Chain A
């Protein structure tokens, strides 16, 4: 099983819709979780951290399910500008391995 797995998509979603995607991780000792956004041919940018209690930032909601070892990202009222690749990042406990383990990303396309 890969350390961090994401559905690559693409997810084609009409503008204004709500879309959600998950990311599963294999290391139960993982400590910190993040969502990054990467636009075409650009560097990934930190979108939001994911906290155990779940957290919201405007139209974006992130949740962590430790029992099932996945994190999720929900985007409400999607905009054309939300089109991007969304990468989940997991940091293993104790700072081991590479310290920042990336999923391959989920490609989201918001259609007018």
Chain B
């Protein structure tokens, strides 16, 4: 069974640009979570989608947004990129209570 996939693996942008990150959950999983992990820091919860709806969001500014598609894949958009947005962005999918992570997208903002 395929695991959670994320693309791209690496993304380099400059300050002020916009970034789009994608996540495909494990087949049959309806919940998708997005986390930000800056270097040396813990996981910071960004967004939670379930059945196409945004269920909750973490303490991040509105320029962090996303959506979930009918096939349960998800997209995270970060507008007006700032240097401190450089981090590993992890997506996790969940069916019951266990969450499974994708390999992440490493975003670098120059």
Q: Write out the residue numbers on chain A whose beta carbons fall within 8 Å of the beta carbon of B33.
A: 98-100
Question: Given that A43-B104, A98-B33 are contacting pairs, would A34 and B45 also be in contact in the complex, using a CB cutoff of 8 Å?
Answer: no
B94 located at the interface, meaning its Cβ lies under 8 Å from any Cβ of chain A in the complex: yes
Chain B residues 83 to 110 lying within 8 A of chain A, measured CB to CB, are 88, 90, 92, 94, 97-104
Interface of chain A, main secondary structure: loop
Bound-state Cα–Cα, A43 to B94, Å: 15
Interface residue range, chain B:
20 to 34
A41 and B88 contact, Cβ closer than 8 Å, known pairs A87-B43, A99-B55, A100-B94: yes
Q: Which of A14-22, A44-52, A53-61 interfaces with chain B?
A: A44-52
In Å, the complex CA distance between A44 and B56 comes to 21
Number of A-B contacts (CB under 8 A): 52
Q: Does B16 contact A (CB under 8 A)?
A: no
Extra contacts besides A43-B90, A98-B33, A99-B55 (4): CB < 8 Å: A45-B101, A49-B98, A87-B42, A99-B48
23 contacting pairs across A/B (C-beta < 8 A):
A34-B99, A41-B88, A42-B104, A43-B90, A43-B102, A43-B104, A44-B43, A44-B90, A45-B101, A46-B98, A46-B99, A46-B100, A49-B98, A98-B33, A98-B45, A98-B48, A99-B55, A100-B45, A100-B92, A100-B94, A100-B99, A102-B42, A104-B42
Binding site for B on A (CB under 8 A): 31-32, 34, 41-46, 49, 87, 89, 91, 97-105
